A and B are shown apart, each in its own frame.
Chain A
């Protein structure tokens, strides 16, 4: 998944056209003025997201999982002692 700020080429009451990685994309109107829009692309579908939207970090989940493992390991060690 990618999140990018894309320049707006056309913005009217029916549609908005933005440029994502050089590709022109037409999407339903956002009904506000915008020179750029933040777009999330999952490889198949483009979605305009809020300007402050941040791409979820996949690594964060891995870290949590590790911590859990480490925590369990510590608990296991303690139990063994």
Chain B
């Protein structure tokens, strides 16, 4: 088979699997840039100040995925890969007083954490001197001084919402939840000089994420982007990275047409 020149201008699809058991963790085909870099520095035996014999240090490398469009699970790579189903979040609401002296405060999709409810006149949220004293029980805040809550006026309320299973997905970043090692396969297409597309696979046999990332959320400029970088190391068979040119791609269930 002739070895025809080829070129690439297509980002890779990423198939990320848990190294330990090869369970698929995330298939990701919306990256904008994918990179794989390997390095093995040379060291030299010198003779009279000149390099005479060259040795290579062991190979190491990195693999990175930069994306603007990605699923929530993408972030879980930075944690231990688990997504929890409960969380407590700070909430802020503007509520209209319907009955003087009382403020209705009931929610769905979670529960209000008793002890976390604070009520302020509208426009004074967080102003300690404006805080309205009162009691909260069974979905109702009752002002200690009834005149503090005037019917048909609006009030700002801050509380902690305990979100329950099915209503929230949570990824925790801490020093107890350490990332797993992953087996990453990236696939792209090269185009040869005859106009034929040829699939390529780049495999990282043992990829460990760098837990150094900066999240940004902005209302101007380009949409937010995130780059995950993995350190590549050697697996138990001594593999680090491989690159495959697929000359004949597999056919899945060929008899089914």
A interface residues with partner B (beta carbon < 8 Å): 9-10, 12, 14-15, 17, 20, 23-28, 44-46
Contact = CB atoms under 8 A, between A and B. Distances in A.
A46 B138 CA distance: 12
B136 A26 contact: yes
Given A17-B114, A26-B115, A26-B135, 14 more contacts: A9-B115, A10-B114, A10-B115, A15-B115, A17-B115, A23-B137, A25-B114, A26-B136, A26-B137, A27-B135, A28-B135, A45-B142, A46-B135, A46-B137
B117 interface: yes
Interface string B120-138: 0000000000000111111
B144 A28 contact: yes
A28 B114 contact: no
Contact of B114 (A12, A14, A26, A45): A26
Nearest to A28: B133
A26 B117 contact: yes
A24 B144 CA distance: 17
A10 B115 CA distance: 7
User: Does more than half of chain A's interface fall in helix, strand or loop, or is it mixed?
Assistant: strand
A26 B118 CA distance: 10
Interface string B90-130: 00000000000000000000000011111000000000000
Nearest to A46: B135
B240 to A, nearest CB: 54
A18 B114 CA distance: 9
Q: Which of A9, A10, A44, A45 has the most chain B CB atoms inside 10 A of its CB?
A: A45
Ordered nearest first, which 4 A-B pairs have the shortest CB separation? A24-B114, A25-B137, A26-B136, A17-B115
Contacts of A14: 118
B137 A20 contact: yes
Contacts of B114: 9-10, 17, 24-26
Contacts of A12: 115
Contacts of B134: 28
B138 A44 contact: no
B139 to A, nearest CB: 11
Nearest to A19: B114
B5 to A, nearest CB: 71
Nearest to B132: A28
Contacts of B117: 26
A28 B114 CA distance: 12
A46 B134 CA distance: 9
A23 B116 CA distance: 15
A13 B232 CA distance: 51
Contacts of A46: 135, 137, 142
